Amino acid sequence: MSVLVNKQAPDFAAPVVHPDNQIQEEWHFLKETQGKYRVLFFYPLDFTFVCPSEIIAFDNRVKEFEKRNCAVVACSIDSHFTHLAWKNTPVDNGGIGQVSFPMVADLTKSIARDYDVLVDESVALRGTFLIDRSGVVQHQVVNNLPLGRNIDETLRMLDALQFHEEHGEVCPAGWQEGESGMKDTPEGVASYLAEKSSDL
């Protein structure tokens, strides 16, 4: 599997279903999200089992991502028509409801292939990619099919990236928004561990 961290995120143009259910036949990922942070997440298939729980969890937190100037984008190998049908299926019938982020249709599987999350030339693994405003991948995590991801951890990584960009300090293990960072010097790590090592 490729590690895309510190590399330019693969761009793509593909059909998408927008939050208002409008379909756009050719949506350009990096252009349409220019100036924003991005979370691009892949999931295996519409109308399945773990996937709706993740998509709804992202939707429940989408305003938190938006507050941080971050666009959330979902992608699977299903068609945009299937995405729309799933959005129009009530949650209590296994649907996802009117989620408020774009859903990309990767029918050719080329996007999943470019991000190296395509398994057995079939469906995408549960890949999550945090991309900065310059289009560089800063964080990636890929779960196997049975393992649902933690969306709060994605938010935490976005907070850590923005903290580092603003303050120039690095974020130690378990860092949370509002906590102090660490200067990336021998003196900085010694000072941090002297105060915080028992809390790690």
Structure tokens at 32: 């349409």
Has 75 been annotated as catalytic? no
The CB density around residue 54, as the number of other CB atoms within 10 Å, is 20
Catalytic residue among 51, 70, 75, 171: 51
Structure tokens at 188: 């900085």
Structure tokens at 7: 């590399």
Residue 130 CA to residue 105 CA, distance in Å, equals 19
The helix/strand/coil state of 11 is: coil
Residue 95 CA to residue 189 CA, distance in Å, equals 48
Contacts of 47 (CB under 8 A, 6+ apart): 82, 86, 89, 94
Structure tokens at 78: 């299903």
Which are the catalytic amino acids? 51
